Chains A and B, each alone.
Chain A
Amino acid sequence: MKLNLDRSLKTPLYLQIRSQIRQLILTNELPCGYQLPPERKLATLLGVNRTTVVNAYHELVADGLIQSHVGKGSTVNSLQTIQHSLEGSSKTIYSEEQRVPIQPISWQNFYTSQSERMHNPVLASILDEIGSEDQISFALGSPAGEFYPLKELNEISQVIIRPGNWKAFEYASTIGHYPLRQYLETWLNRQGIDTQPQEILITSGSQQGLDLLTKVFIEPGDYVVMEEPSFLGAIGVFKSSGAHILTVPMDEEGLRTDVLEQILSRHRPKFIYSLPTFQNPTGITMSLERRHQLLKLAYQFHIPIVEDDPYSELYYENKSLPSLKSLDMHEHVIYLGTFSKILFPGLRLGWCVAPSPLLEQLSLAKQHIDLHTSTTTQWIMTEFCNQGLLDKHLPLVRGHYKHQRDAMVAALEEFAPEGLSWTIPAGGYYLWCELPREMKATALLTKAAEKKVAFVPGSAFYVNSGGRSWIRLCFSRHSALTIREGISRLCGAITELLNQPHLGRKTQQPRFSEPLV
């Protein structure tokens, strides 16, 4: 293959490369299946940047002339395929004057390096959640819809949306509705967190809190420390920011502070992300001693802690241990909370508590991201809380969820095949189970889908690899009866797979259409 580039031309080099290769393919000098030289090699040969060749190849792929496979390089397509795409391009737009064919934009050439790092836990995985009625899903970490206070919310919305109350529909301050921040101040004070409204930012769910912190703190290449396994929404955001994620294992007391100390003596992370109470996915609660050790290390090495705390009010035994934020005497902890797990997620309301200089920076970032969280929604939630309905709701769901947790444990005791083990969390949403004989959770997923039961495979909660034979089961969403039926199906699937280990090794995985949380 011989190409001649003319640098005196105004045509960009990548387009020259593209059109010459195109010519060679169309004249059949490069036949079907012909292996194009690797990008780096061709770049050296032609004395151009590698990206120039990459762009040229991208264009040729978009033209339907070649195909590229990671690891295998690029090959010329069959005449049939080429014919087809040339016919397709008869629709190609001709600009009014030049009559030059214009190809559609190949969007991937325009994306940022950050967007290449975004991956989708929804599409990359799993599970048909809404698909069939008779499916029992333990996958989505959501409250039980049957306890949603629809009637109360309806009455409240009628009060808020009254004639003349335009304020509830206008632009509002980025930091959030003041009465809601006031309510949260009192609510958090009761949980031992000493704070004030100017240290509370209302977010569009706590996922946005994570996004804001990432935007404000993380440069590509920065270090972030987190427990492993951990919340997949946090892993996703940190990864897409280009951070190096350093992971710390856990034991029954939570994050291993001895390992953390080793890490901090070698690296200087931007922050330590932790979900210390009823952790997602393991259900582990960090012991009080560990909490103090963690704070001590943060002070010693001068590293902020991001404490994610969606579940601590959902305790089923004793009241939860004090949060890191409430134990923090030196303003090292940034605290994320949400209404999503304790009430309902559809309003998308959360909050971030941070020292006021940092909070101002986070508010500024939020202003650029979405101006502010929905005014109407914040007004409705404020009224809900001020009427004491949150305080009324919590004991109700605690009772139900405890009962559901017990039902799931009882069902496992009844149906579990030998070798299946599980945790019994003192609060939160999840049981964390290890499958027998290193069975792969992804293989089980397919088998389980046949039996119309779903869960999240453990590997979703790992930064790199790991958790392959673990699964997360959420017990908050279904009644005790449904839970028993679902666990029975799941254990049936495990038993079948134990008896036919060759099955389900590589099969089509069903798709998931709601965000995984």
Chain B
Amino acid sequence: MQYTFAERVTHMDSSAIRELLKVAEQPQIISFAGGLPAAELFPLEEIKESYYQVLSAKDPSVLQYGATEGYLPLRQEIAAQMGMKGIMTEAENILLTNGSQQGLDLLAKLFINPGDVVLLQNPSYLGAIQSFQSYQANFMTIPTNKAGIDENALEVLIKHNQPKIIYLTPTYQNPTGITFTTEERKAVLRIARNYRVPIIEDDPYSELCYDGQAASPIRSFSTDDEVIYLGTFSKTLAPGLRLGWIVGGKNLIAKLVIAKQGSDLHTGTLLQRATHYYLTHFSPTEHIEKIRHAYQCRRDLMLSELKKAFSNKALWTEPTGGMFIWLTLPEEYNTLKLLPKALATNVAYVPGTNFYVNEKSHNSMRLNFSNPSPAQIQQGIKLLAKIL
């Protein structure tokens, strides 16, 4: 039958790119396209033991309905870990989500009326753009200059356009790998505070730091609850678990709980129990240290391969953490049009244009270095250079 959908359905972007990149899942293709952690580094032994322990305890509550906020001891553990990042918070300020994508969706549901303005970095994380789009948000982008964020322009922009919310990935951003300096963080916070615009700080990558500690999260500078922080276990543990969290003011969390209850009641109980066991009985920091080391080698390798193959032919970011390098070709190239050719040569990337909300750039691409093996990085960058 013919369905009459809601207006917002026309704003749900199916992104042709996803279709294109399905090809990249074929085994012969070296993919720099994904945003995946390296699967061979997942701590499977520890997770296995965690499931074993929680299921052996003869406690049926591990399969029972649970509180919408999430399993209390897990929220307490997360609160403690937040403290190590300089975010002083309590379990009552934390809501567990099905990955941070659900955090974004709940926040969009709560904040975005059709036509509201979301202020974000250009380019930005695709999943966030799509989520805001599906609630019919309009976008404005953070003005930048050579030095980074253009504070004066930002202030004028906020003053005149009164955005509903500011969405930022300030640390090792997806897709560019760029990180805000502490001064930039404080400046954005100051301006947002002055004009009373809440900030959503999406922080999936800060544990993946390769050149010293990541800058403190924006929320750590905030004395009030104007910064809503999104965290996830997707990069530090495994993405297939689908477990993330929101840190916010108690009033906001109470409202989000109501929204989440309508969405899916609560996040899986067994999953939360097993993750809690893992965090409290094994050494997650050691595991993170291990993946840090592996990814750092891969980043260094990709950077040196890029230097060999692309010097004078392209520009690229040199991220101090995260999973991505952002490569910009000369103006005359169109990375979207080049993609089929790259796929035919068995190498994949994500064309940069997908990450822009406006003033799209057609000559950039996102390269992931965490998932491909060192050998694949060497070979893949060479293949990439060949097609250009």
Chain A residues with a Cβ under 8 A of chain B: 10, 93, 95-96, 98, 100, 102, 104-105, 107, 110-115, 118-123, 140, 142, 145-146, 148, 150, 153-154, 157-158, 161-172, 203-205, 207-208, 211, 215-219, 222, 233, 236-237, 240, 270, 302, 304, 330-332, 344-348, 355, 358, 361, 364-365, 367-377, 513-515, 517
Contact = CB atoms under 8 A, between A and B. Distances in A.
Nearest to A330: B1
Interface in B236-259: 238-243, 249, 251-252, 255, 257-259
B190 A154 contact: no
B52 A150 contact: no
A204 B101 CA distance: 14
B8 to A, nearest CB: 7
A354 B279 CA distance: 39
A348 B265 contact: yes
A370 B101 contact: yes
B102 interface: yes
A219 B66 contact: no
Contacts of A164: 44
Interface of B: 1-9, 12, 14, 34, 36, 39-40, 42, 44-45, 47-48, 51-52, 55-56, 58, 60-68, 97-99, 101-102, 105, 109-113, 116, 127, 130-131, 134, 159, 164-165, 190, 193-194, 196, 198, 223-226, 238-243, 249, 251-252, 255, 257-259, 261-271
Contact of B270 (A107, A217, A347): A347
Contacts of A355: 1
B4 A515 contact: no
A515 B1 contact: no
A268 to B, nearest CB: 9
A27 B264 CA distance: 51
A372 B241 CA distance: 10
Nearest to B45: A163
Given A368-B127, A514-B66, A146 B60 contact: yes
A118 B268 contact: no
A120 B52 contact: no
B239 A365 contact: no
B51 A158 contact: yes
Given A105-B226, A345-B64, A371 B39 contact: no
Contact of A148 (B9, B60, B105, B266): B60
A365 B3 CA distance: 15
B265 A207 contact: yes
8 contacts: A95-B194, A120-B257, A150-B55, A162-B48, A169-B44, A170-B238, A171-B34, A375-B240
Nearest to B38: A166
Closest 9 CB pairs of A and B: A145-B60, A375-B240, A346-B269, A166-B39, A169-B238, A154-B55, A344-B63, A346-B63, A161-B48
Contacts of B165: 110
Contact of A157 (B1, B52, B58): B52
B371 to A, nearest CB: 10
A298 B61 CA distance: 41
B223 A93 contact: yes
B258 A119 contact: yes
B9 A157 contact: no
B258 A118 contact: yes
B268 A364 contact: no
Contacts of B2: 302
B150 to A, nearest CB: 17
A145 B57 CA distance: 13
Given A150-B55, A161-B51, A215 B6 contact: yes
A162 B51 CA distance: 12
Contacts of B270: 346-347, 377
A374 B240 contact: yes
Given A120-B258, A169-B39, A207-B262, A153 B61 contact: no
Contacts of B241: 169, 374-376
B271 A105 contact: no
A364 B14 contact: yes
Contacts of B239: 169-171
B63 A215 contact: no
Contacts of B1: 302, 304, 330-332, 355
A375 B67 contact: no
A118 B68 CA distance: 15
Nearest to A96: B190
Contacts of B159: 10
Contact of B264 (A145, A344, A348): A348
A345 B190 CA distance: 45
Given A95-B193, A169-B39, A150 B63 contact: yes
Contact of B262 (A211, A217, A347, A375): A211
A62 to B, nearest CB: 11
B5 A216 contact: yes
Contacts of A95: 190, 193-194
B45 A157 contact: no
B198 to A, nearest CB: 6
B269 A371 contact: no
A325 to B, nearest CB: 14
Contacts of B64: 142, 145, 344-346
B379 to A, nearest CB: 22
A50 to B, nearest CB: 17
B12 A368 contact: yes
A145 B63 contact: yes
Given A154-B52, A348-B265, A514-B67, 20 more contacts: A104-B225, A104-B226, A105-B198, A110-B164, A112-B111, A118-B262, A142-B64, A157-B51, A158-B48, A164-B44, A165-B44, A203-B264, A211-B262, A346-B270, A358-B3, A368-B12, A368-B127, A370-B105, A374-B240, A514-B65
